[in-house]
Amino acid sequence: MIGEVLNNYEIDEIIDEGGMSTVYLGIHKYLKKKVAVKMLNPLLQKNPLYKKRFLNEAKLLSRLNHPNIITLYDYIENDFGIFLITEYVKGQTLDEYVDLVTGPVPQSRAIKIIVQVLDAVGHMHSKNMIHRDIKPSNIMITSDDAVKLIDFGIAKHLRKNQALVTQGGAKLGTTIFMSPQQVKGKVLDRRTDIYSIGATLFYVLTGQYPYDKNLSEYEIYNKIVTQVFPDPRTFYVGVSDKMRAVIRKATEIQPLDRYQACEEFSIDLLSAQKKKTKASNISLQTRIIDAADLEIKKPTFGADFWQNLIMLMAAIAFSAIIVTGLYFLSKKDERRVIDSNAYLLEGDSLTASKIESLHYGETVRVIKKPSDGIIKKPWFKVRSLRNNIGYVYEEDLEISHAFVQINAIMGNSIAGNLIPAKFKTALRNYYVENQYYEKNQTAWKIFPEEKKNFEMNTLAFGDYNDNKKDDLVVLLYNTETKERQLLIVFDNEETLSLRLNEDVKIRTVKKGRRGGRWYLGNMLKRTNEEGKKFEAKKYEYLSHDGILLYKIKSKENILYVYDTQEKMLKFYSQTL
């Protein structure tokens, strides 16, 4: 098609390709206006089912006029094929935007994006239409953060007071973002789109899919239908409680438990920004119906159905062969996760110039690993989400499944930001050895406080084994059993722990004059004014850093000092 002229539009280049269609960039011969030209796959053009679906997309778009929905200009059938001519949107799909530009999107920006999606879908619902395929790859983001909803290939117009059952119980849509009702081929109404938008919000806030894409389609179906939607906090600790609640409501298994309209969903999202939002009356022009309310006759399948199915399977097989070939011709797409706030550097040296900041939790694509020569340089050459190429220190990177386990330990985002990567790895190893994980999740958490309360906190750093290298001491709290333990992680990744019987706070006591004098178990012999001898506590400077533990309930101060000779932790009560 490239170079051909279609109704005054010169076909310039391919924008995107899929199993059902190819999208080209078209430029008007005289006006030089750019358009998107969507062509139905030639293999499917003689199939009445897909031809009808393509025409249906054109009819639906022609009835929609909204700033967040692409505009249809024309529908064409000629010797070249079957085409939709639509508005050209310069930007990226939402999945490309998250994957290559931002990683997990900050809450305020995510709300701005999803509210625009809700406005667009709400407009569809007001016209008695449902989209049925809301997902990040069907949402375009422009350079000024404007949203455009695209691809209405399986959208459906509902007659008034009608709910939809997909033909033959077919599951139309993209598996990971499907509602339970869509997965089961049941009755569909606007709430199936609301579920998909909730799943999309999850992806935007976490930068990850709610289900492992390596699972089989059946395994994903089963999780969607039988399990509560995943908690985004277990994927990325930066997700707020308000966003967790919004996602949970949008993705409830039962439609009656979800938001009943896009306006209601938007109001809750906007309230998370702590701005006054004027409530609007929610007018449901589509009657809300549950599957249990309807009797649905089982459809019969004629010869045409089976002929269409065979043609569809042939098209899918053809596409799979092409995709498989491209996969094996390309390099493996290997990624790492930033395990500690770091910088992308221009060279493989700490003195190299900084290109950009890399934040805890975002991913980078590996270009080159450290060399395996005699002298191994601990640097990865990577491409960042913002498409910059540079070097990252090996210690600041982690593989994805290990990152999930590490992230599970962090009770809040402060923990993820404060704890260096090397100690995160050591913590994970400690959890594995002590069997604290169950399906990569754990009840043992770390909950550090804001820096303004840093004098006494739940974690601290110091040279506790007197080797001039920082060690970590941290309080672990079991959210299920309410148990507590103090854990010291030394710089060589050795650990030492002890159980606690009440809530405490800790801080480091520095060695020498800087840390002051403390009672270390030694006594002094004194003589009083009457000439009588007595013993008094001797207060001394520490030879190396120690740990001061304050028991909140009993108000007792205890100093812990690691004995480097005996390899044991000694403690001294500081109560007068």
> Which CATH number belongs to the domain containing residue 365 in this structure?
2.30.30.40
CA nearest to 160, candidates 286, 34, 314, 327: 286
Q: Look at residue 287 in the predicted model and tell me its pLDDT.
A: 41
**73 and 174 inside one domain:** no
Domain termination site, one of 38, 60, 87: 87
Give the SS3 label for residue 323.
Answer: helix
CA nearest to 465, candidates 573, 558, 541, 560: 560
Query: Is the Cβ–Cβ distance between 168 and 305 less than 8 Å?
Result: yes
Q: For residue 14, what pLDDT band results from cuts at 50, 70 and 90?
A: confident
Average of per-residue pLDDT across 187-213: 91
| Cβ neighbours, 10 Å, residue 252 | 19
**347 and 211 inside one domain:** no
Separation CA 92–CA 141 (nearest Å): 5
Residue 127 tokens, joined: 């016209």
Q: For residue 112, what pLDDT band results from cuts at 50, 70 and 90?
A: very high
3-state secondary structure 520-553: EEEEEEEECCCCCEEEEEEEEECCCCEEEEEECC
**263 and 114 inside one domain:** yes
Q: Which long-range contacts (CB under 8 A, 24 or more apart) does 446-452 make?
A: 446/409, 446/410, 446/411, 446/415, 446/419, 446/474, 446/475, 446/476, 446/477, 447/411, 447/412, 447/415, 447/475, 447/477, 448/411, 448/412, 448/414, 448/415, 448/418, 449/414, 450/414
- pLDDT, tens only, 523-564: 988 888 888 888 888 999 999 999 999 999 999 999 999 999
Q: Look at residue 202 in the predicted model and tell me its pLDDT.
A: 96
Q: Is the pLDDT of residue 102 over 90?
A: no
Domain termination site, one of 39, 64, 87: 87
Mean of pLDDT over the chain: 82
The better pLDDT of the pair 246, 416 is held by: 246
**76 and 115 inside one domain:** no
**102 and 228 inside one domain:** yes
Total domains, the chain = 4
**426 and 392 inside one domain:** no
Place of tokens 């009835």: 63
Reported pTM: 0.50
Q: Look at residue 50 in the predicted model and tell me its pLDDT.
A: 85
- pLDDT, tens only, 278-294: 433 443 434 444 433 44
Q: Are strands 354-358 and 533-541 parallel, antiparallel or unpaired?
A: unpaired
State the residue range of the domain holding 150. Answer: 91-289
Q: Please report, as a single letter, which amino acid is at residue 417.
A: N
- By mean pLDDT, which of 139-143, 337-341, 475-479 is the weakest? 337-341
Separation CA 198–CA 343 (nearest Å): 33
- pLDDT, tens only, 216-243: 888 899 999 999 999 999 888 889 999 9
Give the SS3 label for residue 491.
Answer: coil
**104 and 197 inside one domain:** yes
**446 and 392 inside one domain:** no
Q: Look at residue 316 in the predicted model and tell me its pLDDT.
A: 62
Query: Is the Cβ–Cβ distance between 509 and 542 less than 8 Å?
Result: yes
Q: Is the dihedral of CA 461, 464, 469, 474 positive or negative?
A: negative
- By mean pLDDT, which of 127-131, 256-260, 316-320, 461-465 is the weakest? 316-320
**72 and 95 inside one domain:** no
DSSP E strand stretches across 309-421: 335-338, 342-345, 354-358, 363-368, 379-383, 389-393, 397-398
Q: Look at residue 363 in the predicted model and tell me its pLDDT.
A: 75
- By mean pLDDT, which of 240-244, 296-300, 470-474 is the weakest? 296-300
